[in-house]
Amino acid sequence: MPFRLPIVLLLVAAALPPAQAARATIIGDARVPYSATRTVTVDHRTYVGKIFHTPGKQRHDVAIVGIPMHFIIDFDDSKGAVVLPALASYIDFPLPLLLIEFYQSRLDGQAVGEELIDGIAATKYRLDYTAPDGARGEGFVWVSRENILLRLEGRALVPGRRPMEIAMALSDIKRGPQDPDLFRVPKGLHRIPQEALEALFNLGGSLKYKGD
């Protein structure tokens, strides 16, 4: 089966943004704004980009099949957008349940040790969670005292697809306020359907998952 945007969202945008106090605390609900370099590996394919975080929102800049993309995630509204600067376009989408229900409380009693990640003290937790739609995440996560998701290693199991190995790590973390414009879709862009991006990738033919 050809590339599909929700799978890339789930895997390449796997670090989780924050939520309002009225919500259950989500893993990655950092109490501080920051930026960092972010490395994600999905089934031996590695993507290196930037992450920008401010309470309530997150942005991931990465190139997929050679196309620069900005993933803007709004956890307050459980939605996101992919901005395609080269095409002067964007695509909006709902967030997968496996992301928006990744609560901190699911890690209670699952701590397995303490480690330093990029010089920051982190607690390592075992993760095993199945979302209501059947998507499952299992493996380990490393979370700082400020609730920054520093590292993730495990598998994503989506119904109807083979398990996918995934790893994520942050480096060069810089705490500090972020430009609010980073988390907004620029004015003047064309909104296009998700299927248009899928067709573009399929024409390129460079990103297929064997066994899908």
pLDDT band at 188 (very low <50, low <70, confident <90, very high): very high
> What mean pLDDT do residues 168-181 have?
95
Predicted TM-score (pTM) of the model is 0.79
Report pLDDT digits (tens) over 10-19. Answer: 445 544 333 3
Q: Domains, the chain, ranges and CATH?
A: 5-204 (2.50.20.10)
Average pLDDT over residues 67-87: 85
Structure-derived torsion over alpha carbons of residues 121, 126, 127, 128, reported in degrees to the nearest 10: -170
Report the pLDDT value the prediction gives residue 197, as an integer from 0 to 100. Answer: 65
Q: Residue 22: which pLDDT band, with cuts at 50, 70 and 90?
A: very low
Sign of CA dihedral 9, 149, 106, 155: positive
pLDDT at 150: 94
Residues pairing with 149 in the sheet: 143
**Residue 93 binned pLDDT confidence (cut-offs 50, 70, 90):** confident
pLDDT, tens digit, for every residue of 132-167? 777 777 889 999 998 899 999 988 877 777 888 889
Bridge pairing between strands 190-191 and 89-94: parallel
